[in-house]
């Protein structure tokens, strides 16, 4: 039996970064739904939160899970569910892109706190500023 402990911090946004998750109540329902759906699919979400146009999710990868498989499952099903519930005036979609970075054991609590404080954090910093910081900090480069 393999023993695996690999944490990934995922971040993804609404299509065109539109602030469609307009209220805390809607966001809480969406995060709770994503958490419950993930649990059904054997995906362990350690922590989830976000803001009007994006989601942060700390996931512990299972031995047979891949980053792309997790993203396809969580984004696809949750956008379907959000549309089914009618939370938005227009069709809801997640952006195709996302980013994912590994998190060391020693940084887990710091990442959890960062995700926990999204509402507070985005009173002073836009998602675009946060996104640009992540791209720079982790050396991501757009291909093509």
Provide the residue ranges of all domains of the chain, joining segments of one domain with +.
6-138
Could you give the CA distance from residue 71 to residue 100 in angstroms, rounded to a whole number?
Answer: 10
Say yes or no to pLDDT of 144 above 60. Answer: no
- What does pLDDT average to over the chain? 93
pLDDT in tens, 110-138: 999 999 999 888 888 888 888 888 788 87
Does the structural domain 6-138 have CATH classification 3.40.50.2000?
no
* pLDDT greater than 80 at residue 75: yes
Separation of alpha carbons 23 and 87, rounded Å? 10
Quote the tokens at residue 45: 């979400």
pLDDT exceeds 90 at position 46: yes
For residue 73, pLDDT over 60 is answered with: yes
Tokens for 104, please give them: 């060391």
């Amino acid at each position: 039996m393999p023993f695996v402990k690999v944490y990934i911090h995922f971040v993804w946004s609404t299509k065109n970064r539109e602030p469609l998750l307009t209220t805390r109540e809607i966001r809480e329902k969406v995060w709770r739904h994503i958490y419950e759906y993930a649990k059904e699919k054997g995906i362990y979400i350690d922590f989830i939160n976000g803001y009007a146009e994006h989601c942060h999710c700390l996931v512990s990868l299972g031995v047979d899970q891949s980053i792309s498989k997790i993203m396809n499952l969580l984004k696809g099903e949750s956008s379907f569910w959000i549309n089914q519930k009618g939370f938005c005036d227009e069709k809801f979609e997640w952006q195709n892109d996302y980013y994912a970075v590994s998190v060391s054991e020693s940084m887990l609590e710091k990442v959890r706190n960062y995700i926990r404080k999204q509402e507070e954090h985005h009173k002073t910093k836009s998602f675009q500023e946060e996104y640009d910081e992540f791209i720079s900090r982790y050396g991501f480069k757009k291909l093509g």
